[in-house]
């Protein structure tokens, strides 16, 4: 008999490998927060007036748009897909809102957000029922939406002509030096966390992202799940469109919102969302969004030339993803 075998009532201590895996899991859970705080510390040390001045407001302003797009992107990534069209959806939604707000008032909000949600759902339907890869299909949708934005705006800036006071409180009122718009985005992130954590719909999305074939055998409607995920991405794009109008009072194909695609993807991944699917935490995406918003601020504060800021942006993203990405010892990272 092997005298080293554990007997009843005796505890088996963790092996070094188990401790490493456990420690890695803890780091992956708090990594996005640590990276965000470290970058914020660099900014504060270089410019102590950042926190006492208007720094938090500027950070939250930039982070609001990125967070909304990132939440939609994270939802789609969680089911093993990607949405390259959600930033273009945000711009188109903002244009529709700018054109209708003066005449329709609050109803225009429902129309603009509803339109983006519908476009997202159509993306999901096409991907689910035609088996076209999400990368290719949403790339095509991106081109269509950009063309549509140019046509309906005559390639000019579309200004709100009335009822703009409806949206004024979003960026006109502050809590803890940050606009209400940012806190609304945070609230939506909390709602998404509750969805993934405590509902069957959220569990189904994660299951499809982890193993779609297994999810199908388990009776999960993978097609419906994908349609839902892309509809949610469209909804968040529509909300980003609302914020574009609330902040700028106008929309343009080349203006605010047109450059949100890459930051949105980066924020979702820096926030711990696995690009291979099945892993996301909307609460951590908040910190991923703030990290992405902090990168140009930190670069400027420490004196990085504008020509080199893209290099810093890329390096920080790579390091942050390497530190925060969920991995398993037996998994292949694609």
Residue spans of the domains in the chain: they are 53-324
Name which of 109, 69, 32 is nearest 322 in CA terms.
32
- Helices 106-130 & 222-248, crossing angle to 10 degrees? 150
Backbone dihedral angles phi then psi of residue 162, each to the nearest 5 degrees: 175, 165
Name which of 228, 225, 232 is nearest 192 in CA terms.
232
Give the right CATH number for 53-324 from 2.40.160, 1.10.3470, 2.60.40, 1.10.10.
1.10.3470
Q: How many Cα atoms within 13 Å fall on the side-chain side of residue 19?
A: 5
The pLDDT of residue 333 is: 43
The pLDDT of residue 26 is: 65
Query: Element (H or E) spanning 250, and its range?
Result: strand 250-251
334 residues of the chain, pLDDT tens digit each: 444 444 444 444 555 544 544 444 565 678 889 889 988 998 999 888 888 888 899 999 999 999 999 999 999 999 999 999 999 999 999 999 999 998 898 999 999 999 999 999 999 999 999 989 999 999 999 999 999 999 998 888 889 887 778 898 999 999 988 999 999 999 999 999 999 999 999 999 999 999 999 999 989 999 999 999 999 999 999 999 999 999 988 888 887 778 899 899 989 988 988 888 888 999 999 999 999 999 888 887 777 777 776 777 777 677 766 665 555 544 444 4
Query: Element (H or E) spanning 175, and its range?
Result: strand 174-175
């Amino acid at each position: 008999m092997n005298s080293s075998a554990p007997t009843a009532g005796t505890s088996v201590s963790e092996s070094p490998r188990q401790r490493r895996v456990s420690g890695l899991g803890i780091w992956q859970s708090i990594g996005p927060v640590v990276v965000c705080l470290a970058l914020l510390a660099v900014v504060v040390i270089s410019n102590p007036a950042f926190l006492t001045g208007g720094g938090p407001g500027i950070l939250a302003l930039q982070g609001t748009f990125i967070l909304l797009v990132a939440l939609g992107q994270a939802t789609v990534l969680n089911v093993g897909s990607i949405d390259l069209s959600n930033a273009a959806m945000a711009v188109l939604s903002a244009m529709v809102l700018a054109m209708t707000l003066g005449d329709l008032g609050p109803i225009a909000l429902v129309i603009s957000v509803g339109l983006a949600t519908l476009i997202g759902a159509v993306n999901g339907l096409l991907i689910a029922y035609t088996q076209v890869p999400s990368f290719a299909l949403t790339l095509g949708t991106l081109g269509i939406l950009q063309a549509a934005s140019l046509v309906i705006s005559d390639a000019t800036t579309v200004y709100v002509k009335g009822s703009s006071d409806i949206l004024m409180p979003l960026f006109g009122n502050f809590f803890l030096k940050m606009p209400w718009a940012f806190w609304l985005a945070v609230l939506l992130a909390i709602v998404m966390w509750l969805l993934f954590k405590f509902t069957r719909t959220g569990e189904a999305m994660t299951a499809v992202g982890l193993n779609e074939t297994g999810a199908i055998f388990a009776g999960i409607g993978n097609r419906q799940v994908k349609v839902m995920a892309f509809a949610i991405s469209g909804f968040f794009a529509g909300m980003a469109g609302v914020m574009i109008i609330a902040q700028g009072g106008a929309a343009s194909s080349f203006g605010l919102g047109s450059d949100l695609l890459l930051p949105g993807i980066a924020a979702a991944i820096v926030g711990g969302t696995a690009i291979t699917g099945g892993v996301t935490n909307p609460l951590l995406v908040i910190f991923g969004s703030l990290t992405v918003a902090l990168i140009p601020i930190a670069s400027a504060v420490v004196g990085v030339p504008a020509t080199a800021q893209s290099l810093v942006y890329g390096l920080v993203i790579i390091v942050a993803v390497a530190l925060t990405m969920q991995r398993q010892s037996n998994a292949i990272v694609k």
